[in-house]
Amino acid sequence: MTTLTDPPAESFKLSMLVYDTRYRSYTFQILALIGVLLLFGWLTLNTLRNLADLGKVISFDFLGAPAGYDINQRLIEYDNQDTHLRAAFVGLLNTLLVAFLGCITATVVGVVVGVLRLSGNWLVARLMTVYVEMFRNVPVLMWIILAMAIMIESLPAPSAFRGDDPEATMKLFDSVAFTNRGVYVPEPLFSRGLGDLSIGGAFDISLDLIAIVLLLIGSIWVSRRIGRNADAVQESTGLRPRTWPKQLAVIVLPTVILLVVLGFHLGYPELKGFNFQGGTHMRNSLIALWLALSLYTAAFIAEIVRAGILAISKGQTEAASALGLRSNRIMSLVILPQALRVIIPPLISQYLNLTKNSSLAIAVGYMDITGTLMGITLNQTGRELETVLLGMLIYLLISLAISAVMNVYNNSVKLVER
């Protein structure tokens, strides 16, 4: 506020602060600033006085204390003697997991439904309309609870798999078990694994995974080089050499060899004791939340996609059919790429909504950041102020990160105008 480019003239009067447009904006801004500072000061003062009355102090020390509770779904090592901080981190990873899965599924379903709503098939278009209206007009919390209830009620309990003549059997050559505790799928195992890489003693990352990812990145790079070479050949000679066998081989062969070297095999789930053991357990809370969130958001995305497609002028479709393209190619090559520009900005806010709505995980007992930090940790330690503020901060950071990433993408597909 000190950078007054136009120093006060000799005849400065106090009333100029109000009437002179040069100063008026500063007056208002300073008033606004004072007002906001007063508000915050008042709130802080109240908080301090209230906390003093309750005999509490603001302290984040509790984050270092043992949490004492268990979390069923953990992407990193965790047991009940670990700290509240680590529990919060487990929750954060769970939030990110369901948000990531949800965004992908919601996009796929949303695009398909949005396109089908415009389909010439009367029955399909009506069905899709019913789907969209049903999901859009009923609260997402209800869908989450309903999805959970449907999973629990309609799938068999693990005990139904027991006995000589079980009521339920495993599907897909005895490799997948659908139970009302979730879905058990085979897990990848390595008999000659490379072990784990420990980062700062806190997190372990499987070296096998790193090796495979690195190899895949390398192969994809090589395959792209082959493709680019083919482009060059095509430009100079007009003939494009067949590249797909080479590209496929470059990607598949090294991976297969690496997997064999590492001793890759699948670990199948097996009913032992109370539960299925082995395999990867996708819990019903995850599936219910994931399904409900993606179907709910997909209904909105479908509307966005439909609006985006309708926004493309009919001339584009006609021009494309004049070129002799088939209708599905018109959609994928001409309409959707253009519609994307209209679609992406509202899509970003749908992704944000999905991520924020994942905080309703608490209704089905999915242990996300709301369930751990703002749930059990809050209950056990009684630190409302610290946990809730920390939780809000984390959500804010996630939201900002998503909008930042998506905005970068949006700028890259945006129509470059003169």
Q: Which of residues 96-125 bind another protein (CB under 8 A)?
A: 119-124
What minimum distance in Å lies between the beta carbon of 389 and another protein?
8
x/- site string to another protein, residues 185 to 204, per CB under 8 A?
--------------------
User: How far, in Å, CA of 331 to CA of 105, rounded?
Assistant: 20
What type of residue sits at position 155? Answer: L
Residue 24 is a binding residue for another protein (CB under 8 A): yes
Instruction: Name which position in 292, 304, 320, 360 contacts another protein (CB under 8 A).
Output: 360
Structure tokens at 41: 């000061």
Taking 3-state DSSP, the helix, strand and coil percentages for the chain, each rounded to the nearest 5, stand at: 65, 10, 25
Nearest to 364 by CA among 90, 79, 142: 142
Residue 134 is a binding residue for another protein (CB under 8 A): yes
Contacts of residue 391, defined as CB under 8 A and 6 or more positions apart, other chains included, come to 369, 370, 373, 374
Instruction: Name which position in 47, 198, 332, 411 contacts another protein (CB under 8 A).
Output: 47
Tell me the torsion sign for CA atoms 46, 52, 55, 56: positive
What minimum distance in Å lies between the beta carbon of 162 and another protein?
10
User: How far, in Å, CA of 151 to CA of 178, rounded?
Assistant: 10
Q: Give the CA count within 13 Å in the CB-facing half-sphere of 312.
A: 24
Residue 269 is a binding residue for another protein (CB under 8 A): no
Instruction: Name which position in 9, 13, 19, 253 contacts another protein (CB under 8 A).
Output: 19
Residue 60 is a binding residue for another protein (CB under 8 A): no
Instruction: Name which position in 159, 198, 229, 407 contacts another protein (CB under 8 A).
Output: 159
Instruction: Name which position in 3, 5, 11, 53 contacts another protein (CB under 8 A).
Output: 53
Residue 379 is a binding residue for another protein (CB under 8 A): yes
Residue 332 is a binding residue for another protein (CB under 8 A): no
Stretch that binds another protein, among 83-91, 96-104, 147-155, 314-322 (CB under 8 A): 147-155
Stretch that binds another protein, among 102-110, 155-163, 240-248, 308-316 (CB under 8 A): 155-163
Residue 65 is a binding residue for another protein (CB under 8 A): no
What minimum distance in Å lies between the beta carbon of 209 and another protein?
24
Structure tokens at 410: 């949006």
Longest dimension (CA), the chain: 102
b/e burial code for range 193-227 (CB count within 10 A of at least 16 → b): eeeeeeeeeeeeeeebeebbeebeeebeeebeebe
Residue 163 is a binding residue for another protein (CB under 8 A): no
Cβ-based nearer residue to another protein, 208 or 303: 303
Residues numbered 284-313 forming contacts with another protein, rule: CB under 8 A: 284-285
What minimum distance in Å lies between the beta carbon of 318 and another protein?
19
Q: Are 292 and 363 in contact, with CB atoms under 8 Å apart?
A: no
Question: Could you tell me how many helices (H) and strands (E) the chain has, helices first?
Answer: 15, 9
Instruction: Name which position in 54, 57, 199, 239 contacts another protein (CB under 8 A).
Output: 54
**Entry field: residues in the chain:** 418
Instruction: Name which position in 84, 86, 181, 306 contacts another protein (CB under 8 A).
Output: 181
